[in-house]
Amino acid sequence: MAHAAVITVSSSRSTGDGEDESGACLAEFARGLGAEVTGRELVPDDRGLIEERLRYWCDEAGCDLVLTTGGTGFSTDDLTPEATRAVIDREAPGIAEAMRCASRGHTPHWMLSRAVAGTRGTTLIINFPGSPKAVVEAGEAIAGAIPHALDLLAGRSSRH
């Protein structure tokens, strides 16, 4: 069973302003993939802190999958993609492209997402949008490919 962590990036939510619905949706998405959610946290829009938490869940906690929600837009404090790029070894552009394409039919702002996905060692990191609705839509678009990606990263052969 894969181990997953969910990081919600939101300055307002991290100070207790409202409920973390997107993080809950993302944890449910991970469980739907058959993963055990071993960690879930809420951090403010702070690039250094986001990088540190991504490294922790990959390197120290040994998660196979790290999912983030929030911080992928055009606001000046949306720094999740930059933090993710700073810690990944290899980008997985098809995952982010598929997520953006999935949003196209639901919002005229679909192309404003700056979310990225990539690998750090044997961990797959994926940035999701910040709204629960968008998390579900994006998750549906990539769910079929994620178990295969995790098998490949773990060195398990699987059929293509």
What local confidence, expressed as pLDDT, does residue 102 receive?
Answer: 94
39 within some domain: yes
Q: Which two tokens stand for residue 9?
A: 């990036």
Q: What does the pLDDT read at residue 18?
A: 74
pLDDT of the residue at 19: 82
Is residue 34, in this structure, part of any structural domain at all? Answer: yes
Domain assignment of residue 124, yes or no: yes
CA distances from 77 to 14, 72, 124, 134 (A): 14, 9, 24, 20
In this predicted structure, the answer to whether residue 14 has a pLDDT above a threshold of 70 is no
Instruction: Check whether 53 has a pLDDT greater than 60.
Output: yes
Tell me, yes or no, whether 158 lies in a domain: no
What share of the chain has pLDDT > 90, as a percent? 89
Classify residue 28: in a domain, yes or no. yes
State how many domains the chain has. Answer: 1
Q: Is the predicted pLDDT of residue 160 greater than 80, yes or no?
A: no
Q: Give the CATH number for residue 99.
A: 3.40.980.10
Question: For residue 90, is pLDDT > 80?
Answer: yes
Q: Measuring CA to CA, which residue among 120, 143, 147, 145 is closest to residue 63?
A: 120
Q: How far apart are CA 86 and CA 49, in angstroms?
A: 12
Inside any domain, residue 86: yes
Which of these, 49, 67, 63, lies nearest to 115 by C-alpha position?
Answer: 67
pLDDT band at 114 (very low <50, low <70, confident <90, very high): very high
* Residue 70 placed within a domain: yes
Q: What is the enclosing helix (H) or strand (E) of 102?
A: helix 93-104
Owning domain of residue 66? 3-153
Q: How high does pLDDT run on average in the chain?
A: 94
Residue 160 lies in a domain: no
